[in-house]
Chain A
Amino acid sequence: MTSEQFAPGQWRLSFNQPEADFLINVLARLGRHYQEDVSRMPPALRAYWQGTITRGEIAGKDDLKESQEVLAEARSELRGERLALVENWLRDYELSEERDPWKVEITTAERDDFVAMLNDRRMLIAAELGVTELDMEADLSQIANEARRTGILEIDVLGHFILVMLGPQIYRP
């Protein structure tokens, strides 16, 4: 995968065939997930989508209860927006005549939405599997459970995609 800025605020992403296949698979899964009823999700995923407004005590604090409701509603709307985004990406792939490499031109704002969506997938896998710091630092070959190993690999690969798009960000004097 490559990412190049070809004009101010304009980016060209390029994926080879295996990368495109992987990405389309991820997007399809995300699309299905965004359509799921949150109330039927496992507790960890439900918590991710409802969000937590504070780690402090919320009982008896009406303003925080209201803020929690505002957050949950906003996150519900976000899932609809992300679903529309997934559908756009899948449609673009369907209509593309050249898929190796598959090239996509996007604006900076679209890139922000895209990386946030890919990060959704990373966070959802982590929430679903209960991924810990130790898991993320472990040698993949040492993780016996296949679903867990595959999930962590997907988190890593998507992280790599995100970093390719954003480039280094940390201030290094």
Chain B
Amino acid sequence: MSQVESMLGAKILTPIRRGIEAAVAGPATGVRFLSVARRATATSAAKPGTETSPDIDVEEKLKEAFARGWSIIVWNDPVNLMDYVVYVFKAVLKMNEQDASRHMWEVHQKGKSVVGRETREKSELIVHRLRSFGLNATMEQA
């Protein structure tokens, strides 16, 4: 395997053909980290004179947590490039390079990977974003 081939590594299912193996040497993008939304914890006591209701806040947060029952799934396909898929996972899902690569390999080897679990609305948005990059993404109720 040539250096270019190993660098291209490079796709979900097929290697770049030799005829178009011009030197590819783009800079690696910086590592970004998965942004995990912190669930706000309800304050135990509202300040006097404010209308904050901690009970309602807790209830809403619990509802939100239970609503995150939709899995986002990315499926294997014969055309998308491995490096491209990793890039999209980093860009759309804010995964770090290691997690993005792990999910990409799972797609490649097992045919699919669950890349997130969200509320229905947020899952719809993420499926659309992944599909806008050409990835075969769907959602399922977990």
Contact = CB atoms under 8 A, between A and B. Distances in A.
Interface of A: 1, 3, 5, 51-56, 63, 67, 70-71, 74-75, 78, 112, 115-116, 119-120, 122-123, 126, 131-133, 135-137, 140, 153, 155-157, 159-160, 162-171, 173
B116 to A, nearest CB: 15
Nearest to A157: B20
B132 A170 contact: no
A60 B12 CA distance: 34
Contacts of B86: 169-171
Contacts of B29: 166-167, 169
A115 B138 contact: no
B20 A136 contact: no
A126 B79 contact: yes
B117 interface: no
Contacts of A67: 120, 123-124, 139
Interface of B: 7-11, 13-17, 19-22, 24-29, 73, 75, 77-84, 86-87, 90-91, 97-98, 100-102, 104, 120, 123-124, 127-128, 131-134, 138-141
A5 B44 CA distance: 50
Contacts of A170: 9, 82-83, 86, 97, 101, 104
B17 A140 contact: yes
Given A155-B79, A166-B29, A171 B101 contact: yes
B108 to A, nearest CB: 11
Given A119-B84, A135-B78, A167 B22 contact: no
A159 B91 contact: no
Contacts of B91: 112
B122 to A, nearest CB: 11
A166 B77 CA distance: 20
A126 B120 CA distance: 30
B90 A159 contact: no
Given A120-B134, A169-B100, A71 B128 contact: yes
B112 to A, nearest CB: 9
Given A132-B78, A133-B78, A156 B16 contact: yes
Nearest to B129: A74
A5 B111 CA distance: 34
Nearest to A166: B87
B128 A166 contact: no
A122 B77 CA distance: 12
Contacts of B90: 169
* Residue of B17, B22, B79, B83 with most partner-chain A CB within 10 A: B79
Contacts of B131: 51, 71, 75
Contacts of B22: 1, 160, 164
